[in-house]
Amino acid sequence: MLRVVPIDLALAEHRGALLALLDQYASGSEGGSKPLAAAVRERLPGLLAATPGYRGWLAYLAGQPVGLLNSFAGVSTFQARALVNVHDITVDPSYQRRGIGTALLTALEEFARAQGYCKITLEVLEGNKPAVAAYRKVGFAPYGLDPEFGAAFFFEKKID
């Protein structure tokens, strides 16, 4: 039976599951093919716990953690309302295509509705066709304000 629970970073089991699933994701091609650095594994749980607006969920199947969703609250300035952004969503490759990602997104949507958030945002690599299809299936679509300007791009500028 699939069970989705909010992450409680005070629990060692949840910290371990978060780090294991995130490391598995980072190590795969969709995550950049590099495992998490030891320093990241050490700092991340405390940083997330101290970050206002962080919310995460774990999916368990037969008592084993198989899915993770990390999100952060933000603000829609055009609506003057809170929003939530999915920063990471991952399902153990051995358990993909079983509705686990959908269950994680459903848990987030229920939370967002209860909090009065106006929308959920996320980014996805255009070449990750299975993820794009899964997001579209549950109602996500590319973001744009005016068709003349097209869909939004997600950019980054590293400042390391």
Q: Cα separation of 34 and 160, whole Å? A: 17
The CATH code belonging to domain 2-140 is: 3.40.630.30
Hey, what are 83's tokens?
């929003």
- Kindly list the domain boundaries of the chain, sorted by start residue: 2-140
Answer whether residue 155 shows pLDDT above 90.
no
Q: Cα separation of 69 and 154, whole Å? A: 19
Edge-to-edge strand list for the sheet holding 54-61: 2-6, 54-61, 64-76, 81-91, 120-122
For residue 75, the model assigns a pLDDT of: 97
Contact 104, 112 (CB under 8 A): no
Give the count of beta carbons closer than 10 Å to the beta carbon of residue 130.
11
Q: What is the pLDDT of residues 104-144, one digit of tens each?
A: 999 999 999 999 999 999 999 988 999 999 999 999 999 88
Give the count of beta carbons closer than 10 Å to the beta carbon of residue 42.
12
For residue 154, the model assigns a pLDDT of: 85
Q: What is the pLDDT of residues 43-99, one digit of tens each?
A: 999 999 999 999 999 999 999 999 999 999 999 999 999 999 999 999 999 999 999
| pLDDT tier, 160 (very low <50, low <70, confident <90, very high otherwise) | confident
Hey, what are 55's tokens?
């919310």
Residue 25 sits at the vertex; the CA angle it makes with 13 and 123, to the nearest 5 degrees, is 115
Q: What is the pLDDT of residues 5-14, one digit of tens each?
A: 999 999 999 9
